[in-house]
Structure 1
C-alpha cells in the first residue's frame, strides 16, 4: 500500500553525516517502492525554498533561525502554519521525524498528532541521565513520544537507552539498523577486477616491517567523537611505530587543538589534515589507508565504520554504545575509551596486518551481505503498515511473544487514538508539574489548529503535483525481454542498415 510520507529533521544535506545519509537513502528506497516522500529541513547557506534531488525526492528548506550545530531555534507553535501548509499541499499521511535534538522533528510530531496524522520517530543517538542538558532533553522527548505511534532505533543499545529516557513500552520500539551502499565503498582492488570474475581472492600479502601503514580518521572533531583521545594517542602511536602515518578528515571546534598538537610534536610530514570532505569523497580518502580509527565516546550505531570495513580497512574502535553490534569481531579491534587502550589496540591492529592475520580483502562482500538500504526500507514500510492498521498487532509483532501487552497499552489493533481527551491523559502522566504543562501546550496547539482551519481554510491551499513515478516492475520485465531478444534485434537493425545503404 503506497503512502505519502514526510521526513522532518534539522540535519540534512549539504551537511555531511550519518543522520543525513540515513534520511536520504531511506527516502530514495521508499520512493523506489512506490511511496511518495518529501523531506522538510531548515534552510542552509545557499539552499532555501524547494529543491528536487535524484529520483524526484522533494526537499523543503524552511527559513528558520539556527542556534547550535545546525539545530533550529525551538518555537513550538510558530512552525505550525508552515507545517500545516506543507502537509496539506503534499497530502501527507505519515510524519516521520529523525533525531532527539532536532526541533523540526519534535515539533512536527506534536503538530501531526493534532492534525490526526500517523507519526514515527527514529532515534539515532545515545544520551545520559545525570547532566542538566540530558535531563531536559529526556523530559522533552518523553513529552513528544507519549503520543507517537511507533519508535525506531538504529541499534539494540539505542533502543534500551530510548525506552529508559522516554519511559516507553518496549513493544512500541523497533530496531532497524543503518546501512551502506556497498557499491559506493569498494576497495581499490575492485576498480580493476572483472565484475564477472567469481574466484575467491588470494591469501593476504603480509606487510613488511618497512612498509608504510596509513591510519584513516574521518569524523566531526567534537568532544563526543573522542577527538581528545585521538589528539593524545597520535604522538604515542607515531613514536612507537615509525612507518605509520595518519590521514584525518573532518572539521569542528577541536580542530585547533589537533593542529597545535601536530605542530608541537613536529608531525606535519606524518599527519595529513584534509579538513571537511564531501560524502562522495569519503571512499577516495578511506582507500588510501589500511586501518580506520574510531575513538568515539558515545555512538548509537557508527555508519562510518561499516563504510570503512566495506572499503577493506581493519577497524579499531571503542567498545561504547551500539558499536559492538555493528561489525563481527574479525573486522574490528576493540578498545576501552581510554588513551592507553587505544594506543595498545592500534598497535595490535598494526601487528596483525604486518603478519597477514586479517583477510581485509573479504570485508567488502561480507558487509554487502549484512547491510542493505532495500532491507531497511522494507522493514520501515512494515512499521508504516502496522501503525496504519494494514497489519494487526499480532502480525506486526509476530515472534515478540508479547502482543497482548501492546494491545492493552495502545488500544485496538495497537493504533493510537487521536481523541483530544485521550491525548491529554497520556501527556498528564509525564509528571506532576510537567504533565500539566504538556497538557497546556497540547490544548494551545489544538486551538491554533482550529484557528488555522477557520482563517486559512484548506481550500485556499494548492495541492502539489506528484513527481511521475517509474513503473519499476514493467521496466524490469522490459529489460528482461530485451536481454532475451537482444541478438535478434541486433540482426534486424544490421539488415535494415544494409538495405538503407
Structure 2
C-alpha cells in the first residue's frame, strides 16, 4: 500500500504528534508498505529518508501551547508537488483543522482520506470561525480517528460527525528493555522522581509540582527530582524556595534512549499536567518502562490509567494532594511495585503492533469504500438509481 502521512507540526521540535507520525510510519514501513511523510522542518534539520520537508515553520500559540506550523502559497505548492509525486492509495492527515499543511493537503487532495484528531479542546473560537471555510474540504474525509474520547468529543462538538477511537502507540518493548542508570536510581533514604516536559509551559504542571515539594521534602528530605525537557532552569525556578531548587537536577532535553532509561530508573514518574491533554503518551511510556506513575486526574489520564488501577492519581492543580499522595507512594515500595506491574500489563494494549493494525483497518475500509463509490452504473439505469426523472 502507498501511504501518504501529513504532520502539521515541525519535526524540528519534539512533540507527541510528531512522535506518533514517526513511529507509525516506521512501523508501516517495517510491514512492507511504502510510506511518505510530509512535515515542516528547517533546511538544516536531519530528516529520515521517508520524510519530505514542507519548509520552515513559524511558532504560533495554539491550544494552550506553542506549535510550529507552516502555511501560505509557497507551502501549498510544495504540498501539491508531494501529492502529485506520491499517487497514494490513502492519505492520512493529522490535525486536519490546524492551520498548517494538513489543511492545505486536505483542500488539494482527492481519493481516500483518513484524518486523526489529537487535540482535546472543548471550546475553540478559532475552530468555530474556520469551520465554515474548511467545511467543504472536511466532507472529503472518509475515515476519522480520535486518539482518545476527549479528542473524539472535540470532533463531535466542533467538527461534526463521529470518529473511531484509536489511541496513540508506543513501542512497549523498547521501554521495557531500557537499561537502568545508576545515577538516576534512588535509595530508601534518597528516592528519585522524574518530570518530563517543556518546563516553561504552565499546562505541563511543573509549577504545581514545585508548589508540592516543600511538604514532600519535609517528610523525605533526601528526595531527588530529575527534570528533563527544554527550558531555562534559571527562569523556571525564579522564586522557588532554596530547598526545592536544591532538590532538582535539570537534565535538559534527553534522547529517546535516555528518556527510556530515566523512566526505568526512578521510583515515581510524576505527571502534574493541568489541562489540554487528549491522551498522555508519556504515561504509556513510563508504564512500559516499569515506572510507578502518579498523574493529575485529568479525564484523559484517568482513561490511560484505567481509573487509577494502573497508576496513582491526585486532584488536578492541588499541590497539597500531590504532596500527600507522593509521600505515601515513596513510603510504600510494595504499593509502587503493585502499580508498576499493573501499568506494564496495561501498556501492552497500546503497543504499535495493536494500534497500527487498527489504523490499517481504517485505511482498508476507506479504500474499499472509495472503490465502491467510484463504480457507478451508466445511462438511464444510473439516473434511475440516483432518482433522476429524465
Deviations 1:85-111 (A, max 9, x none): 112222223221113535111221121
Cα contact 2:25–2:35 (8 A) shared by 1: yes
Answering whether residue 228 of structure 2 is matched by residue 216 of structure 1, we say no
SS of residue matched to 2:278: coil
Deviations 1:229-253 (A, max 9, x none): 2232233322332232210111248
- Equivalent position of 1:277 in the other structure: 254
Cα contact 1:5–1:35 (8 A) shared by 2: yes
Deviations 1:56-115 (A, max 9, x none): x5111122441334522432x443322221122222232211135351112211211xxx
- Equivalent position of 1:103 in the other structure: 100
How well do the aligned residues superpose, as a CA RMSD in angstroms? 3.1
Deviations 1:430-482 (A, max 9, x none): xxxxxxxxxxxxxxxxxxxxxxxxxxxxxxxxxxxxxxxxxxxxxxxxxxxxx
Cα contact 2:196–2:228 (8 A) shared by 1: yes
Aligned length: 361
- Equivalent position of 2:158 in the other structure: 165
Q: 1:239 to 1:141 in 2, by over 3 A?
A: farther
C-alpha distance in structure 2 between counterparts of 1:357 and 1:33, whole Å: 37
- Equivalent position of 1:19 in the other structure: 17
Cα contact 1:226–1:295 (8 A) shared by 2: yes
SS of residue matched to 2:237: helix
Answering whether residue 77 of structure 2 is matched by residue 81 of structure 1, we say yes
- Equivalent position of 1:128 in the other structure: 122
C-alpha distance in structure 2 between counterparts of 1:74 and 1:291, whole Å: 41
SS of residue matched to 1:331: coil
- Equivalent position of 1:484 in the other structure: none
C-alpha distance in structure 2 between counterparts of 1:217 and 1:272, whole Å: 10
SS of residue matched to 2:322: helix
Q: Which ranges in structure 2 are unaligned for 5 or more consecutive residues?
A: 61-65, 376-390
The structure 1 residue matched to 2:142, chosen from 149, 154, 168, is 149
Cα contact 2:59–2:69 (8 A) shared by 1: yes
C-alpha distance in structure 1 between counterparts of 2:148 and 2:317, whole Å: 23
Cα contact 1:310–1:363 (8 A) shared by 2: no
The structure 2 residue matched to 1:346, chosen from 320, 326, 349, is 326
The structure 2 residue matched to 1:233, chosen from 206, 212, 216, is 212
Once the two structures are TM-superposed, the CA of residue 40 in structure 1 deviates from its matched residue by 0.7
The structure 2 residue matched to 1:324, chosen from 285, 302, 324, is 302
Once the two structures are TM-superposed, the CA of residue 359 in structure 1 deviates from its matched residue by 2.6
Deviations 1:126-155 (A, max 9, x none): 1131x6456446667756534321211111
Cα contact 1:297–1:318 (8 A) shared by 2: yes
Q: 1:214 to 1:414 in 2, by over 3 A?
A: farther
The structure 1 residue matched to 2:267, chosen from 290, 294, 298, is 290
- Equivalent position of 2:279 in the other structure: 301
Once the two structures are TM-superposed, the CA of residue 261 in structure 1 deviates from its matched residue by 4.0
Once the two structures are TM-superposed, the CA of residue 381 in structure 1 deviates from its matched residue by 1.0
SS of residue matched to 2:332: helix
Deviations 1:392-416 (A, max 9, x none): 9xxxxxxxxxxxxxxxxxxx8799x
Once the two structures are TM-superposed, the CA of residue 383 in structure 1 deviates from its matched residue by 0.7
C-alpha distance in structure 2 between counterparts of 1:321 and 1:103, whole Å: 28
Q: 1:47 to 1:358 in 2, by over 3 A?
A: closer
SS of residue matched to 2:238: helix
Q: 1:237 to 1:139 in 2, by over 3 A?
A: farther
C-alpha distance in structure 1 between counterparts of 2:31 and 2:355, whole Å: 12
SS of residue matched to 1:15: coil
C-alpha distance in structure 2 between counterparts of 1:108 and 1:58, whole Å: 17
Deviations 1:242-275 (A, max 9, x none): 232210111248x55532244x424444210111
- Equivalent position of 1:485 in the other structure: none
Q: 1:59 to 1:244 in 2, by over 3 A?
A: same
C-alpha distance in structure 2 between counterparts of 1:290 and 1:231, whole Å: 18
TM-score (norm 2): 0.82
Q: Computing the radius of gyration over CA atoms, which structure comes out larger, 1 or 2?
A: 1
TM-score (norm 1): 0.65
Cα contact 1:314–1:332 (8 A) shared by 2: yes
- Equivalent position of 2:54 in the other structure: 62
Cα contact 2:92–2:116 (8 A) shared by 1: yes
Q: Which ranges in structure 1 are unaligned for 5 or more consecutive residues?
A: 192-206, 393-411, 416-501
